[in-house]
Structure 1
């Protein structure tokens, strides 16, 4: 299974682009910060991750200000170059 669910905030948003099929696509950099339990110990997690949204999700995120925090669901894939990870956002929850 390849499913990611987390809260994040927008720290960088590129200009809206369109796929060759005409689907809106939006490239973002997101920041996530939380505390999780690992081996019965609290651990702070802070990370930046590259993300992409397509279609209506891209349009909705394009209307949000940088710094906006929201919940998301998506999956991990490779970047276009094949190096590194890219979070594909498929659903939005609780845009603050």
Structure 2
């Protein structure tokens, strides 16, 4: 199974665009910071990941303010150039009290 659920904040967002099939695309970057337990020891986790939303969710994601936190869910795949991974967001729930409708 390939499923990622991440509480993160939007730190960067590109201009909206469309696929050749006419679907909206939103490319953005997320930052996650937390403290977890690994092997019985506390561990601070901080990471950034490139993300993309395609279709109806792209329109919602394009309206997010930089710094807005949310629960993002989806799957991981290779970037088009084969260097690194990208998080394809298929579900989103706003955690900051925004007026953006929740799914």
Answer yes or no: same fold by TM over 0.5: yes
| 1:51 paired to 2:51 | yes
Measured in 1, the distance between the counterparts of 2:75 and 2:12 equals: 20
Map 1:76-91 → 2, pairs under 5 A? 76-91=76-91
RMSD: 0.8
Task: Tell me the number of residue pairs that the alignment of Structure 1 and Structure 2 aligns.
Answer: 96
Tell me how far 1:55 sits from its aligned partner: 1.1
Residues 14-57 of structure 1 show CA distances to partners (whole Å, capped at 9, x for unaligned) of 00010000000011011011111110111110011000001111
Structure 1 gaps of 5+ residues are: none
Query: SS at the partner of 1:67?
Result: coil
Measured in 1, the distance between the counterparts of 2:93 and 2:41 equals: 28
Measured in 1, the distance between the counterparts of 2:28 and 2:82 equals: 17
Map of 2:37 onto structure 1 = 37
Measured in 1, the distance between the counterparts of 2:95 and 2:88 equals: 17
Query: SS at the partner of 1:90?
Result: strand
Measured in 2, the distance between the counterparts of 1:68 and 1:88 equals: 18
